[in-house]
Amino acid sequence: MRVKILGSAAGGGFPQWNCACSNCRALRAGTFRGKARTQAQVAISVDSKSWFLLGASPDLRAQIEATPELHPREGIRQSPIAGAVLANADVDHVLGLLLLRELQPLRVYATDSIRKIVTEDNSMFAMLQRVPGQVAWTDFTPRIPFRLLDTSGEDSGLLCRALPLGTHYPAYVSPQRQGELKSGEASLGLIVESKIVESKIVESKIVQSETGESGKRLAYMPAVPQIDDALLQEFESADVLLFDGTFWSDDELIRIQGSGRNIPTARQMGHVPVSSAEGSLSRLAGLRRPRKIYIHINNTNPMLNEAGPEYAQVRKAGWEIAEDGWQFDL
């Protein structure tokens, strides 16, 4: 499986349009030791012909242009992007779907709740349903594996499974609407597995069979409200873990913007912070198998500063901090 990180920042990107925190200010001034980042976006493929997006970032147009593998290949209208898998309905995770509205056939995999929030509560997304066969919404159920289909509708060799990570909803979903939806369907992590397919020749025909042996496994967890033992077990079975690096501390935004303005904590926004005793750095310290990479990093997070102690601490603990344009094979 080839994994491309097209964007690595949380919502707003880095720098963020209205932010003058020390990170954003220094980056604009050209004095920051660290990189600018677009809003989180991952693309995966097994054959480098059909690609799948994990989420759909508001920066998707520029991210596609910066990635030759995702450019059209033949004819006047074509795209190697076969589909998108949605882990939540956050604006910075679904807005990019509207950029894919040019009557290009596309499959979007989502739970019933995420599909309803996006398509029934936001009429602009009807742009994806103007003609039959434009966007095919494909429902999945948390915990039940589903296959990703390539651009010709065949099994791509990628198997996906969503883990429910709590009951967090985007701020635009009203409490009443939340009450109408099935619980545990709107805040998910994604496990993507490449299957090992064996080809053998039987009576001069090529027969492909899945060996049953599991292939390589990617865990994509851009928004994790808390870490329990079952989740730790899932992570230990992954080869690469892309984990929520949104905030360094729970009160990060309050510290920067001042208290008394109803600024939420990291946990209230559905993100376990990196630091502190119950933070991800400490809770995931025992993981042995996966390569550990922080992604979805907010512009205020001090670990973006490669000259700072937080960056050094994270790197020393064996973590990497994702940058736009990274690619790896697993």
| Shortest Cβ 23–Zn ion spacing (Å) | 5
Beta carbons of 237 and 177 less than 8 angstroms apart? no
> Least Å distance between CB 113 and Zn ion?
31
Closer residue to Zn ion (CB): 19 or 128: 19
- In the complex with Zn ion, the residue whose CB is nearer, 10 or 106, is 10
- The CA-to-CA distance between both ends of the chain, in Å, stands at 5
Q: How far is the CB of 258 from Zn ion (least distance, A)?
A: 15
Minimal distance, residue 247 CB to Zn ion, in Å: 12
Closer residue to Zn ion in complex, CB, 85/295: 295
Please tell me whether the peptide bond between 80 and the residue prior to it is cis, using omega within 30 degrees of 0: no
Applying CB under 5 A, what is the total number of residues that bind Zn ion?
Answer: 4
Burial of 13 (0-12, 13-18, 19+ CB in 10 A): buried
255 in helix, strand or coil? helix
Q: Is residue 6 at the binding interface for Zn ion, with CB under 5 A as the rule?
A: no
Q: Which of 90, 94, 91, 74 is nearest to 135 (CA)?
A: 94
Instruction: Choose the binding region for Zn ion from 16-24, 80-88, 114-122, 194-202 (rule: CB under 5 A).
Output: 16-24
Give the nearer residue to Zn ion in terms of CB position, either 100 or 253.
253
For residue 145, give every residue at least 6 positions away whose Cβ sits within 8 Å of its Cβ, in sequence order, or none.
159, 160, 161, 193
Question: Residue 21 interacts with Zn ion (CB under 5 A)?
Answer: yes
Token pair of 224, please?
């994790």
| Closer residue to Zn ion, CB minimum distance, 22 or 208 | 22
The beta strand positions in 73-187, using DSSP E, are 81-85, 106-110, 135-139, 146-149, 155-164
Q: With respect to Zn ion, which residue has the nearer C-beta, 164 or 264? A: 264
190 binds Zn ion (CB under 5 A): no
Residues 257-316 binding Zn ion (CB under 5 A) are 299
Choice from 3, 9, 19, 240 touching Zn ion (CB under 5 A): 19
Our finding on whether 24 is near Zn ion (CB under 5 A) is: yes
Nearest to 89 by CA among 105, 112, 107, 60: 112
Return residues touching Zn ion (CB under 5 A).
Answer: 19, 21, 24, 299
